[in-house]
Structures are given as C-alpha cells and as structure tokens.
Amino acid sequence: MVSIPSLWLPILLSAVAVFVASSLIHMVLPYHKSDYKRLPSEDGVMDALRSFDLPPGDYMFPMANAGDMKNPAFVEKWSKGPAGSMTVLPKGPWSMGRNLSLWFLYSVVVGITAAYIAGRALPAGARYLAVFRFAGATAFYGYALALWQNTIWYKKNWMTTLKSNVDGLIYALLTAGFFGWLWPR
C-alpha cells in the first residue's frame, strides 16, 4: 500500500499537465468550436429573457411538478415546445481566473482519487504498466464518464460529449504516465 502524501509529486505534475493540455485543446485545436450553437435572433431572445431578470441557476422548461408528467395540460405544453434546460450565468464581466483555478483544483482532486485507488491496490515498486492502468482508469472515470449523464438526461449533444471523452482520455493518459513514472520504488 502506498500513501497519498507519498504521491504528491505525480498528483501535482499530472494536474499541471492536464491543465496545459486542456488549455491547448480548447485554444489551439478547432474541434470544440462546434460544441454550442448561436441562438437564432440572439439579441431578441436575450432582450426577452433580460426582462425577467433571472437569477443565476439551472432552469428546465416547461417544469413539471410531481404527477404532472401525465397531466394533459403539461403534455400539451411540452408538445408545443420549446422544451429545454438552460444555465443562467451571473451578470457582469466573464472571469476566467476563477474557472481556471477551479479546473486546476478539480484536476488535483482527480489526481488524489487516482492516488488513493492505485495506492490501495498496488505496493511500492509496482510495475509501470500496473500503475498506469489503475491511475489511468480512475482518471478517465473522473474526467470523462460522468459527462454522459447530461447527455442521457438533459439531451446534451452526443458529439460534444464524445469529444469531451476524447479530452478525458488524453487527460487520463497524462495522469497515468506521471503516476507510472513517479511511482515510489
């Protein structure tokens, strides 16, 4: 068994590598540019929504109360459309600093989780490939698989989810590589 504190170096270096890789993926590579579409009549839609002064949060429309799913009035409302979900962000300037800090912290948490799983399963001196498999599989779960829930339940585009899973695989491979390389001997 290997303790989490003894794995601080692969945890932090893999988080840095994932942070750099994700920055390059989203700023240099073009394949995420089609993840979101522009609203038709964007200004008109924004003007209409602005009049409601919606606080930041997640919204579903139409929203069903308990037992409404079979209620004819709700079914008609849903059938007429539009139906959807949306996240309203806070007003004001967009701050990447907070988001990037939280992303790095999340990458550290994924690294700690990979350290925990691999550290409980493998002894010091374990072979590179064994460490790579445990840390990589755990990191892949953390970076990729949870994204499927939003596609299954909230109809997020499958292609966007699959592209993000490719990103998650890259992040997992980087994490696995650092853990395999820096595993205590």
- 8 Å CB contact between 149 and 116: no
Mean pLDDT across the chain: 95
pLDDT band at 118 (very low <50, low <70, confident <90, very high): very high
- 8 Å CB contact between 3 and 119: yes
Residue 168 has pLDDT above 90, yes or no: yes
Q: What is the pLDDT of residues 128-144, one digit of tens each?
A: 999 999 999 999 999 99
Residue 148 has pLDDT above 90, yes or no: yes
**Residue among 21, 33, 29 at smallest CA distance from 172:** 21
Supply the pLDDT for residue 13.
Answer: 98
Q: What is the pLDDT of residues 9-58, one digit of tens each?
A: 999 999 999 999 999 999 999 999 999 999 999 999 999 999 999 999 99
Q: State percent of the chain over pLDDT 90.
A: 90
Supply the pLDDT for residue 10.
Answer: 98
The C-alpha atoms of residue 49 and residue 87 are separated, in whole angstroms, by 12
pTM of the model: 0.90
Q: What is the mean pLDDT of residues 65-78?
A: 88
Supply the pLDDT for residue 34.
Answer: 92
Which phi and psi angles does 183 have, rounded to 5°?
A: -65, 135
